[in-house]
Chain A
Amino acid sequence: MKLRGEANIWLYHATCGIRFAEDRDAVRQELREHLEDEIAAVQEETGYSQEAAEKIVVQRMGDADEIGERLVAVHTPWMGFLWRLSKVLLALVCVLVIFSVIRERTNNWAYNFELFSTDSISEVRSVTLDERKGLTGADLFNAGRDADQLAQFTIGQQLRAGTQTVEVLDCTIWRTAEDHTDLFLHIRLEDHRFWEMGQLMGDLFTITDSSGNHCSRCIALEGGFGFYHSEYLIQALDFDPTSDFVQISYGPNGSIFSLRAEIPEHKWETGSIHP
């Protein structure tokens, strides 16, 4: 049934105050269906023409302006506009995500990304031991008692440095050349803020043996990283393998962190810690 004159005018007046168009259309549609049902019922009861039935139904419905005011009060526009805005924002950010992923696709930033892994040290691929080159960090700690590996023990000490948690996990000592031995430390940095990736600089390490001798140089090799952590392999050149302990200092005069780890007598055990 198509509404004519009176009912159409009533419908317009009752709904024209609703500002959000989609609400207005929905309410208008609902009222239209209601009016059509009512008109059909009146026609069936009385046998009147559609125009006459519309007049009766419109009178029954009441004042259009008064109903319109009530409808406006119920249908505030801001929720509708917010919904529309949310759709636009979502569409824009989806486009931006696609664009960004395509743009960054060629960058290998995800190359050594490990979400929660603790084995990121295997991502260190550039360790050089005398004649052996290109070893991974994991090779050093899983060598199965290689003839050149002199010691391996767990330190497992956690410290706070700024907002980062520094965890010195494992230590191993390798013979790298005749009369040269290097100490390797597996260090993990953690921060709950995924946008802050802990960084270490080899130059800032001072690694000292029990005789008070400093390692000639320290190299920080970057391992894998994830949302909440980054891992480093620290190579300290020329460490005395007979030392009783290793003193690890980071920053000027050890101002950032410092700890001492006893090297166990049986050098394949867990060391004790003296922070």
Chain B
Amino acid sequence: MNEEKKTRRRWFHLTRGQRTARNLVLFFVLTVLVWGIYGCPLPAEAAFRRLEREHLLESGEIVLLLQPEWGKEYATVSVNGQQYSSNGVICASVSPDWIFCSAGTSRTFDQWEIAYFCSRGDGVDVIPLAHYMVTAIDYSTGRMNLTSYVPYLVLDLDVPAETVRVEMDMEYRMDVRDGEMNVMTSGAGEKQKSGAWLFFLDRPNGSAYATGQIGAPWTIRAYAADGSLLQELEGTVREYSVG
């Protein structure tokens, strides 16, 4: 009887190495499970790449990645000396055929809010990230300016070398109680390291989101140091898909 018990015990007995291996395998499997429960979060750029693949795209060239630095809650970007702040991540990539943009509410992009998909056109591409809102920080008064802005990504914009300031005007379609009305808004832009331009335009209260801007006319003006106009370009916001 005792022999039988001993044999049975030996059968179940694992060496310390085997127990360690078993624990580590279980740890790995459960960690993957937890990762899955939380929506498989990844760092911003990797998560954006994953989103591209989920939308059946090959990897494009990333032209914009705004994300908070480690330990900070807000991503900040400076355009013409004005600091703009956002509490999430914005990322955009381009290929010869398409432009893909997205914004997430956290660094790991596990909570995507929106994905924009536009085809590349000839000339300047103006892509409104209209679902995404940023605020401006006004350091002169030490207070946060609560005006909200819409970020615009502008591609293939070439301005003369002597340009010191670039501005964009856009005519928004705005929902009002009795219908719609158009509102002019404007803002300055700055070239990013990738070569893409980033503009922040005032968002009028009640302005239509995303698709309200399809077909909206825009004008981009480049100015020299003495304030003289160097270049003026006009166009309309091309059709894009929002998912």
> Which A residues form the contact surface with B (CB < 8 A)?
79-80, 82-83, 86-87, 89-90, 93-94, 96-97, 100-101, 104, 161-164, 166, 189, 191, 194-201, 203-204, 250-253, 255-257
Contacts and interface: CB of A to CB of B under 8 A. Distances in A.
Contacts of A200: 56
A52 B241 CA distance: 94
A204 B34 CA distance: 34
A252 B97 contact: yes
Interface string B202-243: 000000000000000000000000000000000000000111
Given A80-B16, A195-B50, A201-B117, 15 more contacts: A79-B17, A82-B20, A83-B20, A86-B24, A90-B27, A90-B30, A93-B31, A93-B34, A100-B38, A162-B57, A195-B40, A196-B53, A199-B55, A203-B243, A252-B119
Nearest to B17: A79
B179 interface: no
Going nearest first, the 6 A-B pairs with the smallest beta carbon separation are: A252-B119, A86-B23, A203-B241, A195-B40, A161-B56, A201-B243
Interface residues of B, number: 35
The B contact surface, by secondary structure, is: helix
Contacts, number: 95
Contacts of A166: 56
A200 B37 CA distance: 23
B23 A250 contact: no
A79 B20 CA distance: 8
A83 B54 CA distance: 39
A166 B55 CA distance: 11
A195 B31 CA distance: 14
9 contacts: A79-B20, A83-B16, A83-B23, A164-B53, A194-B36, A198-B56, A199-B55, A203-B242, A252-B118
